[in-house]
Amino acid sequence: MQPGLEGCAAALRSKAGAKRSPAKPGPCAFFTSKKLNAKTRATIDGKFFFWFSVGMRKRSSAGFLLCALAAFFFMCGCSGGPAPRQAPRGAADFFPEEDDVYAGVAYALSVGDPEKAIAALEEARRRDPNSSETKQLYVDVLLVAGLFPEARAQINEILEASPHDENALYSLALLESAEGKSVEQRRTLNRILEINPVSDKAQAALGEVLLREKKFAEAEKLFDKSLEANPVNLVALIGKGNAQLRQGKAEGAIKTLSRAVELEPSYPFAYVDRSRAFAEAGGIEAADEDVSRAIELIPDFAWNYYDRGKLRANSGNPEGALADFNKALELEPDIPLAYLYRARILDGMDKIEAAYADYKKAQGLNPRYQQIHLPLALIEYKTGKWGQAASSFIKAAEFEKNEPAYHLLAALCYKNSKNEKQAQDYLAKNMGRFSQGSLFYHMARFYMQPSSDHFIVQQLTSEKDKTLRARMLFYVAAQYTLQNRASSAMSYFSEAASEASRDHIENRLALWELKKLEGK
């Protein structure tokens, strides 16, 4: 028994996000299903799989699932004809000219009227209950509405009547993917290939499975097989482009994804994926143009702003990146990496309190993100939160076990909190973390007995590695600051802040300490 209109429409509305004004009923409020030829049905199924699988990506939002299905139906609704018509926003009394159930559903979904979408399907079923196309379309809507038990019941009904129905089996594979049943999904897709060994959509779907499993070379081969059978299979083109990109074949990925863009210029994620390929190949401007085009196509999808923000942050445009991260978090406030990137930009602008709030927010959203301890420690150091800074440096050291600097920095934080004994005890406990005889080892010994600096200065004077010397000078300068030797501290901080150590944490802290000393 199929679910009622009210439950399915409510599920769709909840996925749509913000409420919109309902569309005014037009002359085509209800439609009858049209028979579709095999080629058109295959095209629709392939595109539905792609939009659905995109919607099920970890980045997807519930609202985007609805937008994806609307875009899918809009691309497929007028089969075999010219480029799909665009439903103008705000034109509440406009309906597509063709009284086709697929176009009707597309329009209803695109203006946020799920009741009308379901009503159109219910009416089509009432008028032609034996239409396999209408039944299949109903299954598609149930899947995107998240009504999986109801979708499974409908699929089972179709398969009971026709066990070799490829479209129903394909929907079953989608459902199994959404439920995380990869073994069952593989079995279903292989069943399709037993029925039809050259099924391009099943081959492409299996390629997607291999992509998820990071078997990129094998995935590319399956996508190639799919494209041999159907050169315009969008799933296979996008999948192949991603497989190539993940194997370091950026130029090949650009070529493949450009074919996808030509095939479906209204599909935003072809531009997003090609943007990544352009960036990998060094084409930053082209990458920015592509992701900007994706934003134009779906302006309310947060992750595209995130992608462009990351691109701009890494290409020397912090202001543009900051605006993009702000927009991404406005649309979807639970993206931990967006907070992390925005925090880094704010930190670079010396807006450290705002940066700290973003780092803490990112940590709260993803406590397993161990890399966040170091930037937290840096800001806690700069703001004099010595106990918290020491704790964060220790956690950073647990994550990066081969970096001895964090142990010295934790000890320095204890020293700055005027707890010399805690610093000495911590270092004594962790001396095994330092390679014996190394400069880090000697610096730890100096921090435990700072009354005499003769030996450590002698070691630094004879050190030929300029980067290591500059890093170590920071710790001596910090100890001099505690001993009120401001002149010597400033001299050593200046060398520690030189180009020799620019890629190391001591460089950033030395620059910070210099600003403090110069401000006194």
Which tens digits make up the pLDDT trace of 143-169? 777 788 998 999 999 999 999 999 899
The span from the CA of 104 to the CA of 111, in Å, is 11
| Statement: residue 385 has pLDDT above 50 | yes
| Statement: residue 133 has pLDDT above 90 | no
Please tell me whether the overall predicted TM-score, pTM, comes out greater than 0.75 for this model.
Answer: no
Residue 2: pLDDT band with limits 50, 70, 90: very low
Q: What is the mean pLDDT of the chain?
A: 80
* Helical spans, DSSP H, in 449-485: 454-462, 466-482
The span from the CA of 383 to the CA of 393, in Å, is 15
| Statement: residue 353 has pLDDT above 70 | yes
The span from the CA of 207 to the CA of 215, in Å, is 9
Which tens digits make up the pLDDT trace of 6-42? 444 444 444 444 333 323 222 222 222 223 333 333 3
Residue 165: closest CA among 179, 155, 175: 155
Mean pLDDT, residues 49-61: 42
The span from the CA of 440 to the CA of 407, in Å, is 10
Are the beta carbons of 71 and 266 closer than 8 angstroms?
yes
Residue 348: closest CA among 517, 475, 512: 512
Are the beta carbons of 70 and 20 closer than 8 angstroms?
no
pLDDT value, residue 118: 64
In one letter, which amino acid is 286?
Answer: A
The span from the CA of 237 to the CA of 223, in Å, is 7
CA torsion through residues 17, 22, 28, 33, sign: positive
* Cα distances (angstroms) measured from residue 312 to each of 289, 306, 323, 396, 503: 11, 10, 10, 27, 20
Q: 460-467 long-range CB contacts below 8 Å, 24 or more apart?
A: 463/439, 466/500, 467/500, 467/501, 467/504
Residue 242: pLDDT band with limits 50, 70, 90: very high
